[in-house]
Structure 1
């Protein structure tokens, strides 16, 4: 009996211990807390993950579509905010775990992006018609197997969703079962109840569903009381470089008057606010203004005037809202595209790869510059210039001065900017013929200035320090008074004659300023682009043969050109005799007009026994003062079969006969 009593006592103690354990376990596994009221939710904001409740108290991934029959790229990812306070996603990240690969950053929010309280946020696959406007877009494709992690700006995992055979750490509980093709994975309960179920088990919290993408402008779920409506009206398309208006309309159907309304409208970074409602606060990325009171059943509209840049793009317009009585209401996501019209050439040049339309005046016609099997020419407007390259060669009849419109795409080839027509010759339209454009006179530019002048018609001045001939071109250096050098590339297809050019002479060269393989060059187009520069003097030039046989007759001439800008009368030159028994020669020019030239030619018979050289002299004297004269050096004529080799070589780095046609003689070695 004693043992039986002890046994009963022991059993009672054991039951008490088990009951205590069960009570402790019950404290750990309590039933999910009730859904917070709107007032309670409003305090949660961007709360940390609560992994014990069945209703989310933080942002969650609410729906995922990973393709559809016939279009594997039809994809989107939707987020849901179960709190009543908007959350700025700036700094948040969405990671994607593809099968058998390392996780990748699918999307990172780099600028402000609001997900409304009790609202959604939609990331759409770029370029895909998912049935709703995306708040933003991603480009990486999703696989039939995979998982997502949503990280806040501190790098903490806020939510994770995996489907099919997802990798560990990229699902909660168990992955979602495979859905049929075309179905999405949607978090429960869905519809007007929102998407806030979160038992930390993806398999239980998600179900296969017909895709219903929702963005930040869709109606909150569930719909709170006192909700105001806001809408944004704008043109669907706008011509670049023009202005348009946003019309913001607030409607109050809440059943009560609203006071102290705050309206906020994000402004795209490329847009400029020109005008806004009175008292508006124009911030860097948005316009904010207030309405003192809006009666129940009333509406109010204001406009914001926007200036657009000279570029092409399209963008969605999410994130605008009205806030009143502690409740923020977001409007439907809008859309706008900048398209049509003609861009300034300077703006088009910065759109590498983009298709653009520009208008300009032709500064270099086809045929003068080598272009392989195609043709090329240059155009310019008030903002800049650019090369037009036509690969097929179908465009070959534009002329300097023509005003043209061209639609094509921008491409960089060997650091040269090209505008390539989309369709030749249809996308090159001659609007009208016109006069030759006037080059822009510039100082020789430094590197920073040069890039801005690329493709433009310019004029530069300097001293010619080098002139070399190659198979298909002439190459020269022009140096200005500050020591800066510009490379001159003269294509022989231009048929420009360089015989009159002299190293050491001052010139004014015009042409297209271009870049090739990282080096800048000036490319003259025609003979008129090479102009010698002269001091305000009378320039006298002496022309005579370099060699002549003894006993022959030679002609030599003096050419006087008046660069003083004034007419001159009775200009006289006196020349020393060519032989000891000769007499002085005198040449008088009765009238020498500005830029006019007079020529005097003399003949000389060389004695049969003459050898060595004969010197044809510069003038001994002139009626003009020395400061008004530019005289030539004495000219040496070699008597015999030609110019000796030693004379051709000269004593300097360059032959004194450079680019001259001479006869010489010697023994072949």
Structure 2
């Protein structure tokens, strides 16, 4: 978390002048909560009054006037219950003491507090403490408050503990069950902030309140009874020249056969070959492994790891990979990682067998992963990028073992279904982090000048891209996640030697979709031509130099901060739309200029069309003017249509749904009848643009709209009501237009198996996007489609669809909103990452003809074992039509398309799952015929579970 600049992994603040320049100490770079004493006045309490202690780890004073320390209960979702305003400034490396309430009269008086408020009375077992840049009580989000979330909530630092619903990464646990146990929550390294409460704080008996009058210090750590190191651990002393050896133990004995060493707390001596060193980047240690181990392992019998992390910055700096060493130290568990806290070490001159990387597929169970913890591995099998959101923050990816990314549970199956549960289990079995050998938060001001690893201009690591391991890695465990680590801290400067992987380039031109009229839906990510600097009260997300990039709140604008950033955003959107190949585009999240700035409702839309024509040629695009009648109290974003007049013409006026209470919280749908140029009324088709209510949680939501936990998010009841209202609107508008050919497109904020989608498909509409095998959105490490194209029965007979994956799968670092967040300039003017949603493209062939009957028969799906892995054998036979078919076989482990399959011809494919066992599942067969009248058929075939382990 950084004050001063742009996006951070934990929080962002608007900081007093000088703080950004002060963040040069290599630490947190902003004021942090350093201690929270929660049991003041209770039995055995050393002090009568509760307190929150702050610390300034930077080299310049920080003005905290107008800030406050706030508290909210562990289960609270509304505004903070208490707020203590702060005044003055905190000197470099100095503390600031905020006194609160008390549980009784036991204990001494605190040193003179710098601020106080008796209403600040945090629970001793669970709650949320926040340092924020306002004195107004803030409504904190639930979940992990880091990055954009923290910045939007004006959070500088936040501490969630116990069962709190608000925290950084994970709440601190391990607090005593009674307030009679004296102690406090203390940041283990006050100069550092790992944006992870569970790792950054520990409960100990030492209570050390310090106010601004205390002598400024640059602490290395604050003692507790049983220190729990933070992921950026404080370096240990250099080894002694005459070490005192403990009992000799093998690495295997230290590791044991469970997730906790049987020797925790004991001082032991062991030997091993150095395999990886991390003298920089925050790991502050090295890995050693028993000589001669590794290679081809049978994980059924290999039950204890031969690798071990040694915690010592001095040793990591002095030792080299390949050296055989003897280490003495105390065994501990650091956030689940078994390690040896070295007190002495030396190089052993003996010749020993080399360590071999273990050639193993990623295990699906924690027990088998534990048997490889800390070992050198050469990952076997296929891997793809599954999530790249954290790359912009921590230089890490989530990978999926196998050939497919993880699918949203409610995209895979109905909420609560076995299919949805299987999607969650699939992620648990196949997910592993690819890290950079460091804990660096690249979004902090202190680290923004450090280039991001892995990301290079023009070659992004996209979700779904195949990953090839070119060198061994260490299997590590941190932040409750398994990770592949390079053998030393990875930077762009050493990438040629250190980076252990390459990524396949999966960028493609826009898909070719057959048809004579092409309709697209494209969410353009808050395209506002009213920029923040044109309005009063706007607050901003800022780059590493403190320059405003996008609006964060305080005014009606939601997009670019100024003209320069608008141009960056607009250029990418223009290249995306002009490269899409669409004739009609439904736009979502475009500015409603009337609501935002009191301008003509279409002002922003007109500017986008001008920009499109400047790129594609004068007159290429036009926009559909707003209807004469529009709803009152509209949102600041809206839906709209643009089109190519050389190809298609709007027939009559557009119409927006007015008066439907279901859309009180969202954007009303917009309908327009279209006719291809040169066509007749028989060719008319109605297109309706939609943007349903979002899934984001809102404490003010009515009970029926709260997140029920079934995977559909908040406001599901509202979206269901919107779906019913849309069907009524579609029915009346299509009847007035005299056509049964209807296409409903847009951002429905519902995945493919959720209730709102089912309402529409139960009414006879076909979800064309479901036939593509592609998704339009990435969230929480899962891909799924929020964007859909629903065709009426008459139109579905002549419709095909595809998705152009230009946005959701791209690293967020490439987005215009992250311009200059890092010293590496990752922005370009291409269509890629022009938004966060992917456009869907539908091809229609008008006029309607009598469809050809498509049939496939005899689908098969049989799992079998080979080499300890499950393979899935699939086949189907093309059926009756005289013409050839296109056939797509889709499984959870990939899909395969066959083109121009002759009648009565069998096609088959064997899918490699990469797993030792798979649950029961379903093969989906989609058959297509296209001659200008196109038709398709979808059939399924269930297959049984298979275990090859």
Using structure 2 for the length normalisation, give the TM-score.
0.20
Larger radius of gyration: 1
More strand by share: 1
More helix by share: 2
